[in-house]
Amino acid sequence: MTVEGEPDPDALPGQARMVAFVDASVAIALTLLVLQLTELVPSDDRPAGPPQDLVLDNLSVFGSFVLSFAVIGRFWLVHHRLFGFGARLTRGLVLLNLLWVLTIVVLPFTTQMVSTYGSEPFVLRLYIAVLAVCSGLLTAMTVLMRRTGLAEGDLRRPPDVFVTRMIAATGNVVLAFLLAVVVPAVGYLALLALLLDPLTTRLVARLRRR
């Protein structure tokens, strides 16, 4: 029990503070991605070869960097749009958000594994599994925010179409993971399943109307 006028130690963070924490975490994750590239540049204690060889000999590193940069950027944009709806924070929502941040800050590690081991089946599945969990947590936050808004009559809640899109997007990542498990030879081309968003969104919308 707190005395009137004193701050509540169990109070949840404000939405602006939580979003700022997310933005900082995403920025750190992107910085860690870039550090993997800067480490490729020869220093004083390492002989420097032709600069074109530096790039050509490390195409997998540059490829994994671009892939993860695009993935993190896309997840951040979705998170930004989601919390732009301004629904009230709950303990469940804060917990889901922290778990989502965990998947984001883990991505530089899995990216490093991709650049080192390439399409090795375990690494492929681990990388896509992290993406699936990340997308799934975003979907869970979307559903929770909408239900909380509906229960409280808050018109700022995420619209139903946003929920449908999030479910479809997560379904596509899960599909990519299943492809990586069943047909590992497909490699990171399994991520092309993410381009199915328009088709799966219509499918999920029909299923939800039944």
Write the DSSP assignment of 157-197 as a string of letters.
SPPHHHHHHHHHHHHHHHHHHHHHHH-GGGGGGGGGGGGGH
Are 85 and 156 contacting, i.e. CB atoms less than 8 angstroms apart?
A: yes
Domain count, the chain: 1
128 in any annotated domain: yes
**Is residue 9 over pLDDT 60?**
no
Domain of residue 103: give its range: 15-209
pLDDT value at 1 more than 50: no
Whether pLDDT at 61 is above 70: yes
Residue 36 has pLDDT above 90, yes or no: no
Longest dimension (CA), the chain: 69
Mean of pLDDT values over 88-110: 93
41 secondary structure, DSSP code: S
Element (H, E) at 23: helix 15-38
Q: Which residue, among 33, 34, 41, has the nearest Cα to 57 in the 3D structure?
A: 41
pLDDT of 118 reads 86
Residue 137 lies in a domain: yes
Q: How confident is the model at residue 164 (pLDDT cuts 50, 70, 90)?
A: very high
Neighbour-count burial of 98, counting CB atoms closer than 10 A to its CB (0-12 exposed, 13-18 middle, 19+ buried):
middle
On whether residue 130 sits in a domain, the answer given is yes
Confidence check: pLDDT of 192 > 80 = yes
Question: Residue 207 pLDDT > 50, yes or no?
Answer: yes
Regarding pTM above 0.85, the answer is yes
Residue 3 lies in a domain: no
Contacts 24+ apart (CB under 8 A), 191-196: 191/67, 191/128, 194/169, 196/172
Say which range, 30-39, 136-145, 201-210, has the weakest mean pLDDT.
30-39
Please tell me the predicted confidence (pLDDT) of residue 48: 65
**Higher-scoring residue by pLDDT: 189, 151:** 189
Angle in degrees, 0-180, between the axes of helices 121-152 and 59-83, rounded to the nearest 10: 10
pLDDT at 8 over 60: no
In a domain, 51, yes or no: yes
Report if residue 86 sits inside a domain. Answer: yes
The verdict on residue 127 lying in a domain is yes
Q: Is residue 4 part of a domain?
A: no
Cα 81 to Cα 77: distance, rounded to the nearest angstrom:
6
